[in-house]
Amino acid sequence: MLYRALLLLFLSGLLHARNIPDSLYQQFRQKNLTGLKARVQLAKAHAAFDKDSAFHYGKLALALGEELENKEQYAWALNYIGSAYYYHGQYDSAKHFHLQALKIRLTIDDKKGLGASYNNLGNIYDDEGDAAKALDHYQRAQD
């Protein structure tokens, strides 16, 4: 079941990445909120199939997010870097980035982001075989 879900996610990521609009790459060059969001979206688009590109765009988003002092987008960049590690089976690194994103989201009370962080951590714990921790995080994601 997990294998099928990951395969579907991988294939949808390939299709999505091939359909990344040129305008997103143009927005990426801007040094404002639009450029920051474009960098985050590019990290997201590459997370499942091209870890190096996801890291590249994610790190650029982190730098601009820090410069713009935008904690919400900074946390999303951490989230997609963590997701890239997760999709490639590097659970300790994935957990590290998702926990950093969670910490920021708790301080800014980002409900949507908190749900994503708890869900992502639940997925990691589930894959590691820690059903109790996974269930706890999935329940927190629903709150």
Cα angle, residue 99 at apex, residues 96 and 100 outer, rounded to 5°: 85
pLDDT of residue 14: 46
Which residue type sits at 107? T
pLDDT of residue 19: 64
pLDDT of residue 110: 97
pLDDT of residue 11: 47
Instruction: Quickly tell me which residue has 């935008």 as its tokens.
Output: 70
pLDDT of residue 7: 47
Taking Cα atoms as reference points, which of 84, 91, 88 lies closest to residue 57? 84
Q: What is the DSSP letter of 65?
A: H
Close Cβ partners of 137 (under 8 Å, ≥ 6 residues apart): 118, 119, 121, 122, 125
Close Cβ partners of 19 (under 8 Å, ≥ 6 residues apart): none
Q: What is the mean pLDDT of each run of 10 residues along the chain (143 residues)?
A: 51 52 78 95 92 94 97 98 95 98 98 97 97 97 91
Count of helix runs (H) and strand runs (E) in the chain: 8, 0
pLDDT of residue 95: 98
pTM for this structure?
A: 0.83
Q: What is the DSSP letter of 29?
A: T
138 touches 123 (CB < 8 A): no
